[in-house]
Amino acid sequence: MVVILGYAVSLGCIFGVYVFHGGNIKVVLEALPFELITIFGGALGAFAVANQPKVLKATLKLIPQALKSSKYTKARFLSLLALLYDILQKARKDGLMSIEQDVENPRDSGLFNKYPDLAQDHHVVEFITDYLRMMVSGNLNAHEIENLMDSEIDTHHDEAHEPVAAIGRLAGALPAFGIVAAVLGVINTMGSVGQPPSVLGGMIASALVGTFLDILLAYAVVEPLGGLLDQKAQDGGKELQCIKITLLASMQGYNPATAIEFGRKVLFSTERPSFIELENHVRRKK
């Protein structure tokens, strides 16, 4: 809703002021279909050439997420920390081997199924279970696991930012396609130099619409979209950081209540629950 409202305010003010000051919106509308075909056709073709198929698929999948509210809310992080607490508490009370079945079959695990939103997120479940499996095996120490976690989080960060970078490159290229459209319009105008001034004026105005549209699309539509998706990607990385810090704290000997406090501290302040909120949530989930 905020994204749609933002676009409405941006475009409404731009075109509204143009019309208010006597601008002829008909000139823009008449040239719009042809200019959009030229701009989007060229831009989308270049976009396909510049990116691998996996990045194209990831971009198409990611764009609709901009219209949805972020899933990384305080409630989600409360559930995540409560889940980690339950797992670590069971391991501390009954031994690491007691969570082996939860790790191997998280879909059938009572611990994971207490938190259905998290249980349905295979990225989170895989990240947790992969490192719990290493903890159960006992073959790696905390320092080795930390290095491995950092490498995986870096990979996740790079992968999540590939479509964001692709959108950024598209925003940067759009003004150039506007110049192409404008030059083509000027060429067409020069070929009709014998026409009356009123006709030539209309043709020049139509040619300039392409430049206007590309600058508008680049800086009022595509670039803000890339910025929003970049922030969402950062939120996803912060969730993995929270899991990492909590599990490492447990490996270093801290009790579950203290371990999840380590994890709580790495969260952004806007989504971080307070100590009391987390404590009360964990108690209710017991």
Residue 165: the pLDDT is: 92
pLDDT of residue 213: 81
d(CA 109, CA 280): 23
pLDDT value at position 183?
Answer: 75
pLDDT of residue 140: 72
Does 20 fall in a domain? no
The total number of residues shown for the chain amounts to 286
What the block records as the tokens of 207 is 């040619």
In a domain, 196, yes or no: yes
Supply angle C-alpha 157, 102, 258, rounded to 5: 65
Is position 8 within any domain? Answer: no
Would residue 208 count as lying in a domain? yes
* CA atoms of 265 and 99, how far apart (whole Å): 26
In a domain, 89, yes or no: yes
Structure confidence at residue 198 (pLDDT): 63
Q: Tell me which amino acid residue 121 is.
A: D
**Domain contains 238:** yes
**Residue 71: per-residue pLDDT:** 87
Residue 16: the pLDDT is: 81
Q: Which residue's entry shows tokens 């995986």?
A: 152
In a domain, 157, yes or no: yes
State how many domains the chain has: 1
Print the domain residue range for 286. 25-286
pLDDT in tens, the chain (286 residues): 788 888 888 888 887 887 787 777 777 777 677 777 878 788 888 899 999 999 999 998 888 888 888 888 999 999 999 999 999 999 888 888 888 888 889 888 888 989 988 989 888 999 999 998 888 877 778 888 889 999 999 998 999 899 999 999 988 888 888 777 777 777 776 767 667 766 666 667 777 777 788 788 888 888 998 898 898 888 888 999 999 999 999 989 899 999 999 999 999 999 999 999 998 888 886 6
Task: Please tell me the distance from the alpha carbon of residue 277 to that of residue 270, in angstroms, as a whole number.
Answer: 14
Token duo for residue 141: 């120490």
Let me know if residue 123 belongs to a domain.
yes
